[in-house]
Amino acid sequence: MDENGINNAYWKMILELAQSVVGENNSNHSMKEVKQLDSKDKQFIEKAMQETVRKVDSNMIIASCLRDLRSLMNPSDNDLDFVTNIVNTLEDVICQIDFAYNFCRMGGIEEIMRFMSLPLLSVKESIMRLIPTIAQYNPQAQDYINGSNLLFTLVENLLVADQASAIKYQCLSGISAIVRNHHQSFEYHLLVGGPSSHFWYRVITKPGFEQAKNNDNAPSVGLDKANTFVEPCVYNCEPPTEEEISIVHKLKKFINMNGLNIVLNCYQQALEKHDERVANKAAVIIVGIGFDIGFQEASKHGFTDAIFEIFCTIPPSFDACSYVRGYLNYPELQNMKLTSEMIKAMQDALQSHLDYETTLAEKDENTINELRATLKSFNEVKL
């Protein structure tokens, strides 16, 4: 190993390659004087070698970690520290986009899914930490994952009765990383999912919203259909941008498996169990997707109504509250056709949030003023 951290074997490889090139040249050209590399050329070669070593070593680390995981066919509690150390090692490597994609290509997603099928919750939770690291802001990895059954497996796990809170949280984190911020703008130009007009089904699952006649054609995966009502709605707003359409295309798989309703149901169950961590995560996912795809697409696919429902039910003390409230600043909300029940529910929720903010020891005047302005706008909504 030289002073720059490059293994001498790599220098030997370069020397042998250089000698072979010189040999070929000598057969056709006269021997030229060999000159010593200047500092600039040497620095360039050293940098290239360091990058090569880094890539080779990182892929070797991934391969080694996957071998270790595959050796655990039936892990026990005694293996938790071993698995956690592997996960920590992998996270240090696959936080880089290229290596995250290499992890996918080397069978890493399949290995994660295998561990998710195992009964041991502690090991399952540990291995699921890798999913957000792999998928977040990584279109190549997201494309690979969308070609697998991982997203379906995550959504399916949210439907398991009495699923552990820690597993629900990891499922939500994984779903968020896979379906959000998947920007490949202008690649797709077709609106997908839902009818071509500005009508869609509004899912109603909580008191305070109008109970419309149930429609057998509406999706009901993961929900109690007897207590779920849908109605056609129409909002008037600007057409979506090409980027928003592109993001919706990437969400098609999530939308088609009724992912929105399942995550919303997860949020509702978390509220009932006073599980603030899971409720916050589910709320942030739904609102985040609503922001990503723009107001019209969010409305068409039911996200806007889901966000309204979340805002009307989320306790003002929850961390996700300010994020949910931010969605209410869309100017297009003024063009929505709301029922009297929806307006009343929103007014009550806004007043509750305003009362909470004004009783805090450290008041945020900006938040208070925004709540007052939003409440005023809803008081002025025409039926």
Instruction: Encode pLDDT of 327-350 as tens digits.
Output: 887 777 766 777 888 889 989 999
* 42-70: pLDDT as tens digits: 666 666 655 554 555 788 889 999 999 99
Q: What's the pLDDT score for residue 44?
A: 67
Q: What's the pLDDT score for residue 36?
A: 64
Vertex 126, ends 163 and 112: CA angle to 5°? 85
The per-residue pLDDT of the chain, averaged, comes to: 76
Lowest mean pLDDT among 136-150, 190-204, 222-236, 254-268: 190-204
Identify the sign of the CA torsion 267, 269, 271, 277. negative
Q: What's the pLDDT score for residue 202?
A: 31
Q: What's the pLDDT score for residue 219?
A: 35
d(CA 266, CA 158): 7
Q: What's the pLDDT score for residue 169?
A: 96
Whole-model pTM above 0.95? no
**Higher confidence at residue 158 or residue 230?**
158
Nearest CA among 267, 242, 264 for reference residue 187: 242
Vertex 59, ends 57 and 60: CA angle to 5°? 60
Q: What's the pLDDT score for residue 231?
A: 34
β-bridge partners, 203: 230
Q: What's the pLDDT score for residue 223?
A: 34
* 166-202: pLDDT as tens digits: 999 999 999 999 987 654 322 221 222 222 222 222 3
Question: Alpha carbon of 206 to those of 69, 225, 318, 345, 357: distances in Å?
Answer: 44, 13, 19, 11, 25
